[in-house]
Amino acid sequence: MTNIAFQNALARKPQDTPPIWFMRQAGRYHHHYQALSKEHGFTKLCLTPDLAAEVAMGPMDDFDFDVSIMFSDILFVLNALGMGLEYTSSGPQLDWALNSETLSKLDRSPDVATRLSFQGEALRKTRARLPDNKSLIGFNGGLWSLFTYAVEGTHKGALIETKKSMDLFHPFMDILLPVLIQNTREQLAAGAEVVMMFDTAAGELSPSLYQSLVLPYMEKLVALFPKKIGLYTKGTTPAHYRHPLFESNMLAGVGVDHRWAASDMGTLDTGFTQGNFDQSLLFLPREEFLTHLNLYLKRMHENGVPGGWVSGLGHGILPKTPTENVRLFVKTVREYTHG
C-alpha cells in the first residue's frame, strides 16, 4: 500500500517521472473542499476523522496525485497545550500569547498528545480509502513556526516580537517537543509513510541562527524516527542546510520553495527533494502557463533530475487557483520527455 515512485524518491532511485503532490492540495481552491467547508466549517472538517478523510480524497480523485496528505492544521498542537484556538475570517486566533509570564500556563500533563488523536484516526480513515498504489503522509508544524505563532499569533512579517523572545524558545521546546514526538509516533502507526515538518517561518532566521537555535531540536526528533521525518522550509537558502543533519542520511527528505534552482536541489544529499514550481504561475492563461512549466521542467532535467525529486510547488497551492491548470500540471509533468 504505497506509491512506487514515492518510495523510489525516498530511496533516491533515478526515475524519469517523479511522484507528484502539492502542499494544501485539498484546500480552498478546490470545489470539493468548498462544498464540504460550506456545510461543516473548517474546524469540524479537521476534528472529524471521516470528514478529514473525505476532504483528503477530493484532490486524489480529481487530479490523481501520487501522494495524499492528512487534512488538518499545524496549530492544533498549541490548542492541545492550552493556548486555545479559533479559526476566524481574519485567520486563526489563540486565546493568549506566549511570553515570560504566560509560559507557566502551558499544559505539561502527560495526556496532552492524546488531544491530537483525531489526526491519527483521520490518517487511518484516509489510508482505508486510498488506492493501494497511493502514498500517505502526515505532518506537524515546524518548530520555529509554532514558536512564532505562540508568541505573535502569526508566522508572517519580520517577527520582531518572536526574535525578542528567543530566550523562551528552549523552555517552549522542552514542553512542545515531547508532544510532537508522541504525535509523530501515532501518525506513523496510523499509516503515514512520512511525517513532514512544515516550517514556513524558517527563512526569517539567518542560517547561523537557524542552525544553532532550531536544528538541534530537529536532530533530536529525527534521531527517534530515522528516514521518517521530512522537513519543508520557506525562504531558506542552501546555507541554512549546511549542517550535519542534512549529511546524516537520517531525514526522509527536504522540501524547498520556488527560490531554489534545480542545481541547488541537487546538492541536497538526503532522501527526497520536494518542490519547487512557483505556485503563482498556476494563475496564468493556459498557453503562458504551459510555456513556464515546460521551461521549468527543461531546467529540472538539464543536468539530470535532482536525486529523489518529488514534483510540487514552492509552497501551498493558493486559493482560487484554476483547477484546470492543476490538472494540466499533473498531465504535463507525467508526459514530459527531455528532448
Mean pLDDT of the chain: 95
Query: How far apart (Å, rounded) are the C-alpha atoms in residues 174 and 137?
Result: 26
Neighbours of 170 (CB within 10 A): 11
Mean pLDDT lowest among 66-75, 102-111, 152-161, 246-255: 152-161
Q: Tell me the HSE value of 260 on the side-chain side, using a 13 A CA sphere.
A: 33
To which H or E segment does residue 54 belong?
Answer: helix 49-63
Closest among 4, 21, 11, 3 to 255, alpha carbons compared: 21
The residues facing 275 across adjacent strands are 311
Domain boundaries, the chain: 4-335
Whether 339 shows a pLDDT value over 70: the answer reads no
The predicted pLDDT at position 262 comes to 86
Dihedral-angle region of residue 308 (phi above 0 means left; psi in -120 to 50 means alpha; beta otherwise): left
Residue 101, class by beta-carbon neighbours within 10 Å (0-12 exposed, 13-18 middle, 19+ buried)? exposed
Given its phi and psi angles, is residue 306 left (phi above 0), alpha (psi -120 to 50 degrees) or beta? beta
Please give the torsion angle defined by the CA atoms of residues 177, 183, 186 and 190, in that order, rounded to the nearest 10 degrees. -140
Least confident of 64-68, 88-92, 94-98, 243-247: 88-92
Handedness of CA 334, 319, 199, 138 (dihedral sign): negative
CA 169-82-167 angle, to 5 degrees, is 15
Q: At what angle do helices 323-335 and 286-302 cross, to 10 degrees?
A: 30
Q: What pTM value is reported for the model?
A: 0.95
Topology of domain 4-335 in CATH is TIM Barrel (3.20.20)
Helical ranges in 111-167 per DSSP H: 117-129, 143-152, 160-164
Asked if residue 160 has pLDDT above 80, the reply is: yes
Q: Dig out the grid coordinates for 331 from the structure.
A: 498531465
β-pair partners for 139 = 196
Eight-class DSSP state of 251: S
Please tell me the predicted confidence (pLDDT) of residue 90.
84
pLDDT tens digits for range 215-257: 999 999 999 999 999 999 999 999 999 999 998 889 999 999 9
Predicted local distance difference test score (pLDDT) of residue 145:
97
Q: Please check the confidence at residue 338 and state whether its pLDDT lies above 70.
A: no
Which residues have C-beta within 8 Å of that of residue 289, sequence separation ≥ 6?
A: 281, 282, 325, 328
DSSP notation for 260-327: S-HHHHTT--SSEEEEEE-GGGGGS-HHHHHHHHHHHHHHHHHT-PPTTEEEEESSPPPTT--HHHHH
pLDDT for residue 101 is more than 70: yes
Cβ atoms of 80 and 72 closer than 8 Å:
no
- Complete edge-to-edge strand list for the sheet that includes strand 229-233: 67-69, 135-141, 194-199, 229-233, 253-255, 272-277, 309-313
